[in-house]
Chains A and B, each alone.
Chain A
Amino acid sequence: QSVLTQPPSVSGAPGQRVTISCTGSTSNIGAGFDVHWYQQLPGTAPKLLVYSNTNRPSGVPDRFSGSKSGTSASLAITGLQTEDEAFYYCQSYDMSLSGSKIFGGGTHLTVL
């Protein structure tokens, strides 16, 4: 059971918009720790997608955007493309775990 809760799966048709939620608590996201998002394509290592809640590394399309409010964060993907089909993980820190880095359980995005 992950400290950060993500839906196991989401889906959408090409061109549509989907959001992936990441729900935490007052000891992690709600404590003010930043949320970061990673994309893991099949058979590959995770790749940083969004950092510090809303920022995109160079090379990541602006179709991907992050937000944070209260004890939760979200990743939005607009203009879905077939190559977006992957697992997505949120990550933050948790005070109750001695400031350890924590990951959400992951969400599989299916592009229909």
Chain B
Amino acid sequence: QVQLQESGPGLVKPSETLSLTCTVSGASMRSQYWSWIRQPPGKGLEWIGYIFYSGSTHYNPSLRSRVTISMDTSTNQFSLTLRSVTAADTAVYYCGRDTSGYVANWGQGTQVTVSS
């Protein structure tokens, strides 16, 4: 049973950098895609990007200039970095295992608030 768990600060100041980590258990990170998705309060889902086990990445064009997704297969973790955050980046952030184009498994989500 694949399980994912997000972790990181729940509060980030405007203009600073948001950093989250997703810890994967019950599955190897090899030969799979790993995604980050977010959901602003009261709104729908927005795909942020994914990383393949080889290290190749693909990002949402609207966030590409501020996003980096990285992976550490030795610790079964992958991470999200979002720079220069504003209040519009306040959201629940989910990590997920991406299979054949869909997110087969989701973390429980972590709330991140951007505020001074």
Which residues does chain B contribute within 8 Å of A100, judged by CB atoms?
47, 58-61
Stretch at the interface among B13-21, B72-80, B101-109: B101-109
Q: How far is the CB of B67 from chain A (nearest CB, A)?
A: 12
- Checking B46, B104, B108 against A103 with a beta-carbon cut-off of 8 angstroms, the contacting residue is B46
Which residues does chain B contribute within 8 Å of A102, judged by CB atoms?
47
* In the assembled complex, B100 has its CB within 8 A of some CB on chain A: yes
Chain A interface size band reads: 20 to 34
Docked pose: A38 CA to B109 CA in angstroms: 15
Cβ-defined contact, B103 with A38, below 8 A: yes
A89-B45, A100-B47, A104-B44 known; A48 and B104 CB under 8 Å?
Answer: yes
- Find the A residue at minimum CB distance from B104: A48
Which residues does chain A contribute within 8 Å of B103, judged by CB atoms?
36, 38, 46, 48, 91
Docked pose: A34 CA to B102 CA in angstroms: 9
* In the assembled complex, A47 has its CB within 8 A of some CB on chain B: yes
A89-B45, A104-B44, A105-B44 known; A51 and B100 CB under 8 Å?
Answer: yes
* In the assembled complex, A76 has its CB within 8 A of some CB on chain B: no
Within 8 A of A (CB), among B15-40: 35
A45-B108, A46-B94, A97-B61 known; A103 and B44 CB under 8 Å?
Answer: yes
Q: Give chain B's interface residues, CB within 8 Å of chain A.
A: 35, 44-47, 50, 58-61, 94, 100-109
Kindly list 7 other residue pairs between chains A and B, CB separation below 8 angstroms, not including A45-B106, A102-B47: A34-B102, A36-B103, A38-B103, A45-B107, A45-B108, A46-B106, A93-B101
